[in-house]
């Protein structure tokens, strides 16, 4: 019986997080926005259920899998400054960026997803291709 309660609590917490994210991105909390959050949360919940039932791999991870994300706040600050400087310099001389290959050390889908997320959130780059053993990244500033 505790499994049912744990799953219910997990889904309820997820729904509350989706509603909070909707209201955060809406920029205001008003009765109209709270009412609009309902269909948005229902759509998100429905997609989550479909994904969970039809996914080929379970995306379960451990705390160690989230280690690459701990460096993200510092990388965001540094990359924002580097990209802003590169964009200002590109007014004089255009830049095209470079493609780099980085080894992918992931054994499970959750690790792969978190590695892609960690490399793509900073403004200096994004994952252009995902291979079995490497990530191909595009960087504006190498």
Contact between residue 11 and residue 33 where contact means Cβ atoms under 8 Å apart: no
pTM of the model: 0.52
What is d(CA 108, CA 81) in angstroms, rounded to the nearest whole number?
Answer: 33
pLDDT tens per residue, the chain (142 residues)? 466 677 777 777 877 887 787 777 777 778 888 787 778 777 877 787 787 777 776 666 677 777 777 888 888 888 888 888 888 888 888 877 889 898 988 777 777 888 888 888 878 888 889 887 888 988 888 7
- Backbone φ and ψ of 108, nearest 5°: -130, 160
CA distance 26 to 48: 21
Element (H, E) at 76: helix 72-90
The secondary element (H helix, E strand) that includes residue 26 is: helix 2-26
What does the buried/exposed string (b/e) look like for 45-58 if buried means 16 or more CB atoms within 10 Å of the residue's CB?
eeeeeeeeeeeeee
Angle CA(11)–CA(14)–CA(16) in degrees, nearest 5? Answer: 110
Question: For residues 6 and 25, what is the distance between their CA atoms, to the nearest angstrom?
Answer: 29
Domain boundaries, the chain: 2-54, 65-139
């Amino acid at each position: 019986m505790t499994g049912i309660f744990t799953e219910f609590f997990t889904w309820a917490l997820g729904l509350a997080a989706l509603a909070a994210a909707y209201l955060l991105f809406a920029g205001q909390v008003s009765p109209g926005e709270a009412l609009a959050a309902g269909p948005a949360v229902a759509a998100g919940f429905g997609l989550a259920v479909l994904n969970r039932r039809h996914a080929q791999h379970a995306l379960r991870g451990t705390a160690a899998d989230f280690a690459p994300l701990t460096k993200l706040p510092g990388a965001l600050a540094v990359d924002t400054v580097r990209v802003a400087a590169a964009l200002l310099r590109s007014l004089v001389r255009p830049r095209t960026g470079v493609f780099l290959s980085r080894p992918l050390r992931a054994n499970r889908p959750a690790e792969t997803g978190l590695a892609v997320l960690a490399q793509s959130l900073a403004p200096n780059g994004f994952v252009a291709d995902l291979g079995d053993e490497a990530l191909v990244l595009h960087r504006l500033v190498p």
